[in-house]
C-alpha cells in the first residue's frame, strides 16, 4: 500500500523543505524507515501546523485557525510503500521505533469524476454563458483578467480549448507543474478530461490565466492515465502555495478547480484509524487544504457522481460518498444541475464526511461544450459543474481579490445568494441552491455601498 509518512526532523531540515528556493530530498529528511520503501522521486512537502485560538481544538477545521510553516511548527511528508501483508504491524510500529515519525497516512487513488450517464446533452455552453450572466459580469469588469486559475486534472490541450471557444487562451507554463514521472508540456496534453475542465472554467472567466497541473496522469504501477495518487495532489497544493504567496498581497487571486476524488474505501485506512483520509481532519492533505485556503486561495471540489438515482459504477462507499477534501469545510463542494436547473441523477448527495453540509452549491453540467470526448458527448458530471463554478469565482476575483473579500466571505455570499431549488434552505440534494449571478453581484454592490 502506498502511504504518506509525516515526520518532524530537525528545524533546519524543516526550513529547507518549506523554502521554495531550496530543495531537500527524501534522503535528507528520512535516512530509512523500517519496512518502508521510500519513493526518492517524491520531493518532501512541508505540512503547516494548525494554530487555534486559545483553548481551541487544532483539528476542528470549522473554527478560525492560522497555519504556521515556521521551522519549529511545521512537519514534513514523504511517500513510500508498505507491503500489504505487513501493513498493520508496520503502521503501528513506525511511530514507536522512530521518535521523528508523527504518523502514517493513506495515499488513496483519486480519479476524475466522470459521469455514468449516457443521456445526450441538455443545452450547450452558450446556455451556461447566459445562465452565468457573463454579459453582466463583463459589463462590471469581471472577466478573470489577472486571476490565476489552476486546473488539477489530466492535463490541458490549450489548442483544442481555443478552437472550441473560438478565441485565444492564456496558459501560464511557468507556473504550471507536473508530478514526478509525468511527461508532457503544459497546455499540450492529449485532449481528455482536463481539457474539458479547462474549457468549462473559461465560459465564465475567458481572460483568466490557466495553470496546468496534471495530477491524474499517474505513473503508479498498474495504474491508468486517469488515476492519480493523493500524494501528487499534496505536492501540487504545496506548489500552489508558493504561487499564491508570490503574488502581491493586495491583488492575490488564485482559484483551484478539482474535479476528482476518492471513490472507494479500498485504498484508505478504515474510519477511526489515525491514517484514514476520508473521515480524518488531521490527514496531512486536509491540513494543507485548510492552510492554502487561509493563505487566500479559493478551492473548489466536485461533490462526485455517486447520486442515488444514477451512481457511477466505481462508487464503493456504502453511504456519505462526499469524502475527504471534497467535504472539507474550507472548500466549495459543487453538485450538478442541467441548464433547466434540475439536479442530474448522478450528483452526489450529502451529508459530507468532514462536514455534514455538503454539497455547498450546484452549478451547470451535462451540456454540449468542449467536445473533449466527441462531437455529440456532453461536458458532464460534477466534473463539469466544478470548473463552471470555478470560472464564475475567477470572474468575481477580477475586482475582488482575497485581500478585499476572503475565501470564507466569498463562500458565505455564494451560499447566501444561491437560488433555492430543494426544500427551504439547505438540503442534501442541492446544498444551498444553484449559483445565482444576479444575487451575488447585488450582494457585492451592497458591500461597496456600505464601505462608501
**CB 127: neighbour CB atoms within 10 A?**
18
pLDDT at position 422 is 78
**Which of 49 and 394 is assigned the larger pLDDT?**
394
**Which of 204 and 268 is assigned the larger pLDDT?**
204
- Structure letter (DSSP) for residue 29: H
User: Among 256, 137, 131, which Cα is nearest to 207's?
Assistant: 137
pLDDT at position 112 is 72
Mean pLDDT along residues 73-85? 87
Question: Is residue 377 over pLDDT 60?
Answer: yes
Tens digits of residue pLDDT in 166-191: 999 999 999 999 998 899 999 999 99
Question: Is residue 242 over pLDDT 60?
Answer: yes
**Which of 272 and 411 is assigned the larger pLDDT?**
411
Confidence (pTM): 0.91
Question: CB–CB of 179/141 below 8 Å?
Answer: no
Mean pLDDT along residues 64-84? 86
**Could you tell me the three cell numbers for 303?**
461533490
pLDDT at position 104 is 87
Question: Is residue 314 over pLDDT 90?
Answer: no
Q: Using 50, 70 and 90 to split pLDDT, how confident is the model at 264? A: confident
pLDDT at position 34 is 77
Question: Is residue 260 over pLDDT 90?
Answer: yes
Q: Using 50, 70 and 90 to split pLDDT, how confident is the model at 263? A: confident
Cα end-to-end span (Å), the chain: 57
Q: What is the dihedral of CA 419, 423, 427, 431, to 10 degrees?
A: -10
- Structure letter (DSSP) for residue 251: G
**Could you tell me the three cell numbers for 161?**
480549448
Cα Rg of the chain (Å, integer)? 21
Q: Using 50, 70 and 90 to split pLDDT, how confident is the model at 87? A: low
In this predicted structure, which of 77-81, 189-193, 249-253 has the lowest mean pLDDT? Answer: 77-81
Cα 131 to Cα 412: distance, rounded to the nearest angstrom: 21
Mean pLDDT along residues 338-348? 93
pLDDT at position 7 is 92
Q: Using 50, 70 and 90 to split pLDDT, how confident is the model at 22? A: confident
Cα 321 to Cα 263: distance, rounded to the nearest angstrom: 8
Cα 9 to Cα 180: distance, rounded to the nearest angstrom: 23
Mean pLDDT along residues 150-167? 97
**Pairing of β 75-81 and β 2-7:** antiparallel
**CB 397: neighbour CB atoms within 10 A?**
29
Amino acid at each position: 500500500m502506498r502511504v504518506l509518512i509525516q515526520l518532524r526532523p530537525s528545524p533546519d531540515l524543516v526550513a529547507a523543505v518549506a523554502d521554495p528556493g531550496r530543495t531537500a530530498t527524501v534522503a535528507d529528511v528520512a535516512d530509512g524507515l523500517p519496512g518502508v520503501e521510500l519513493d526518492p522521486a517524491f520531493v518532501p512537502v512541508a505540512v503547516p501546523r494548525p494554530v487555534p485560538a486559545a483553548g481551541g481544538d487544532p483539528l476542528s477545521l470549522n473554527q478560525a485557525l492560522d497555519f504556521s510553516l515556521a521551522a519549529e511548527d511545521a512537519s514534513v511528508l514523504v511517500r513510500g510503500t508498505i507491503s500489504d501483508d505487513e501493513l498493520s504491524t508496520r503502521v503501528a510500529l513506525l511511530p514507536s521505533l522512530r521518535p521523528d515519525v508523527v504518523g502514517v497516512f493513506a495515499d488513496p487513488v483519486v480519479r476524475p469524476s466522470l459521469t455514468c450517464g449516457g443521456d445526450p446533452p441538455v443545452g450547450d455552453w452558450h446556455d451556461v454563458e447566459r445562465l452565468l450572466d457573463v454579459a453582466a459580469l463583463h459589463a462590471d469588469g469581471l472577466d478573470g483578467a489577472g486571476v490565476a486559475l489552476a486546473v488539477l486534472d489530466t492535463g490541458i490541450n490549450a489548442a483544442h480549448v481555443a478552437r472550441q471557444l473560438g478565441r485565444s487562451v492564456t496558459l501560464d507554463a511557468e507556473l504550471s507543474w507536473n508530478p514526478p514521472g509525468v511527461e508532457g508540456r503544459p497546455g499540450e496534453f492529449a485532449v481528455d478530461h482536463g481539457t474539458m475542465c479547462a474549457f468549462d472554467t473559461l465560459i465564465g472567466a475567458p481572460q483568466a490565466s490557466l495553470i496546468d497541473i496534471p495530477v491524474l496522469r499517474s505513473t503508479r504501477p498498474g495504474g491508468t492515465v486517469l488515476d492519480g495518487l493523493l500524494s501528487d495532489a499534496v505536492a501540487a497544493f504545496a506548489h500552489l502555495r508558493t504561487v499564491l504567496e508570490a503574488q502581491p498581497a493586495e491583488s492575490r487571486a488564485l482559484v483551484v478547480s478539482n474535479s476528482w476524488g476518492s471513490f472507494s474505501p479500498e485504498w484508505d485506512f478504515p474510519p477511526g484509524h489515525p491514517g484514514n483520509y476520508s473521515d480524518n481532519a488531521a490527514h496531512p492533505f486536509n491540513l494543507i487544504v485548510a492552510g492554502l485556503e487561509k493563505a487566500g486561495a479559493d478551492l473548489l471540489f466536485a461533490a462526485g457522481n455517486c447520486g442515488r438515482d444514477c451512481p457511477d459504477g466505481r462508487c464503493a462507499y456504502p453511504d456519505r460518498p462526499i469524502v475527504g477534501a471534497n467535504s472539507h469545510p474550507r472548500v466549495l463542494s459543487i453538485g450538478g444541475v442541467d441548464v433547466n436547473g434540475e439536479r442530474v441523477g448522478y450528483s452526489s448527495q450529502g451529508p459530507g464526511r468532514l462536514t455534514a453540509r455538503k454539497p455547498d452549491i450546484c452549478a451547470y453540467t451535462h451540456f454540449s461544450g468542449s467536445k473533449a470526448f466527441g462531437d455529440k458527448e456532453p461536458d458532464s458530471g460534477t466534473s463539469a459543474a466544478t470548473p463552471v463554478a470555478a470560472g464564475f469565482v475567477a470572474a468575481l476575483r477580477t475586482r475582488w481579490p482575497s485581500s478585499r473579500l476572503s475565501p470564507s466571505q466569498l463562500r458565505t455570499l455564494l451560499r447566501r445568494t444561491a437560488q433555492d431549488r430543494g426544500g427551504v434552505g439547505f438540503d442534501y440534494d442541492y446544498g444551498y441552491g444553484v449559483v445565482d449571478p444576479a444575487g451575488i453581484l447585488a450582494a457585492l454592490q451592497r458591500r461597496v455601498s456600505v464601505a462608501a
